[in-house]
A and B are shown apart, each in its own frame.
Chain A
Amino acid sequence: MGFHLDWSGVLAGAPLHWLVTGLVTTLAVTLAASLLATVLAVGLLGLRVADNRLARGAARTIVALFRDTPLLVQILFWYFAAFGLLPGGVRDWINADHPWAVLPANVPLISPEFLAATWGLGVFSAVFIAEEIRAGLQALSPGQREAALSQGFGHWSALYHVLLPQALANAYQPTVGQYLNLMKLSSLATAIGLAEITYQVRQIESFNAHAVEAFAAGTLLYLLLGVVLGRLLLAIGPSGAGGRTSEERQADARPAGEGRHGL
Chain B
Amino acid sequence: MTQDTLSPPLIEFRSVHKHYGTVPVIRGIDLTIRRGEVVVICGPSGSGKSTLIRLVNGLERLSAGDILIDGQSTAGLDGAALRRLRTRIGFVFQQFNLYGHLTAAANIALAPRKVLGLTDAEAFRAAATLLERVGLGDKGDRYPSQLSGGQQQRVAIARALAMRPEILLFDEPTSALDPEMIGEVLAVMRSLAESKITMVVVTHEMGFARELADRVVFLDEGVVLDDAPPERFFGATGHPRAKRFLSQLLSPLHQVGG
Contact = CB atoms under 8 A, between A and B. Distances in A.
Tell whether A and B belong to one assembly.
yes
Nearest to A258: B178
Contacts of B143: 242, 244, 248, 252
Given A169-B101, A248-B143, A147 B163 contact: no
Interface string B226-245: 00000000000000000000
B145 A150 contact: no
Contact of A147 (B99, B146, B177): B99
A162 B101 CA distance: 8
B93 A254 contact: no
B100 interface: yes
Given A150-B59, A150-B89, A259 B115 contact: no
B145 A153 contact: no
B101 A243 contact: yes
Contacts, number: 110
B59 A260 contact: no
Q: How large is the interface on A (under 10, 10 to 19, 20 to 34, 35 or more residues)?
A: 35 or more
A161 B123 CA distance: 16
B86 interface: yes
Interface string B168-181: 00000000111001
B57 A150 contact: yes
A146 B152 contact: no
Contacts of A263: 100, 144-145
Q: How large is the interface on B (under 10, 10 to 19, 20 to 34, 35 or more residues)?
A: 35 or more
A166 B145 CA distance: 13
B101 A260 contact: no
Given A146-B59, A152-B83, A252 B97 contact: no
Interface string B193-234: 000000000000000000000000000000000000000000
Contacts of A99: none
A261 interface: yes
B125 interface: no
The 3 closest A-B pairs by CB, nearest first: A259-B149, A263-B100, A143-B97
Interface of A: 140-141, 143-144, 146-154, 157, 161-162, 165-166, 169, 241-244, 248-249, 251-252, 254-255, 257-261, 263
29 contacts: A141-B97, A143-B97, A147-B98, A147-B99, A150-B89, A151-B86, A151-B111, A151-B159, A152-B86, A152-B87, A153-B115, A154-B83, A157-B114, A157-B115, A162-B99, A165-B101, A169-B101, A242-B101, A244-B101, A248-B143, A248-B146, A255-B147, A257-B150, A257-B178, A258-B149, A258-B178, A259-B177, A259-B181, A260-B144
Interface of B: 57, 59, 83-84, 86-87, 89-91, 93, 95-101, 110-111, 114-116, 143-152, 159-160, 163, 176-178, 181
